[in-house]
Amino acid sequence: MSLSLYLPLALAVLSFVLYNIFQKSIAPNADPYLSLIVTYIVAGITAAIAYFVSKGDAVRVFQDFRQLNWATFALGFAVVGIELGFLFAYRNGWNISVASLLVNVSVGLILIPVGLLFFREHIAPANYIGIVLCIAGLILIAKN
């Protein structure tokens, strides 16, 4: 397996770890919506820099913009839901270790039928053991 196969996942893992640490560290009295606005301004600037750097001299914003579909815009709503969900969960006392684990395992289990039905993905027989262990883990987490 190529290193380039795992680097994006490593970036996602590192970023999600930092995401949860930073989300848990937001000042308790900070307005959650203003916090999100500032977060998205920083994210927008970072993404714009990455876009222009990756394009080099041949920046074609309008042509690239036409390649976007509905999912890009819908993702904005989903991201706000994720941000607010974690922010309010942490403000309501959820532990960083439990909340993140509970959400990620739940999302993984929900996305299994989505992947099978809508994206024609397949599950290997060995994956069923992992699914059972995830469900058992959720049950054990819920008992605490």
Let me know whether 120 and 132 are in one domain.
yes
Dihedral (CA of 87, 102, 109, 4) sign: positive
Contact 86, 99 (CB under 8 A): yes
Let me know whether 39 and 101 are in one domain.
no
What is the mean predicted confidence (pLDDT) over 70-78?
Answer: 97
- Report the alpha-carbon distance of residue 102 to residue 142 in Å, rounded: 9
Show the domain range for 114: 95-144
Let me know whether 118 and 68 are in one domain.
no
Let me know whether 8 and 38 are in one domain.
yes
Let me know whether 30 and 63 are in one domain.
yes
The answer to pTM > 0.75 is: yes
Let me know whether 131 and 67 are in one domain.
no
Please indicate whether residue 79 or residue 97 has the higher confidence score (pLDDT): 79
Let me know whether 102 and 85 are in one domain.
no
Let me know whether 50 and 68 are in one domain.
yes
Let me know whether 118 and 78 are in one domain.
no
Contact 134, 106 (CB under 8 A): no
What is the mean predicted confidence (pLDDT) over 17-46?
Answer: 97
pLDDT at 98: 92
pLDDT at 2: 83
What is the mean predicted confidence (pLDDT) over 26-44?
Answer: 97
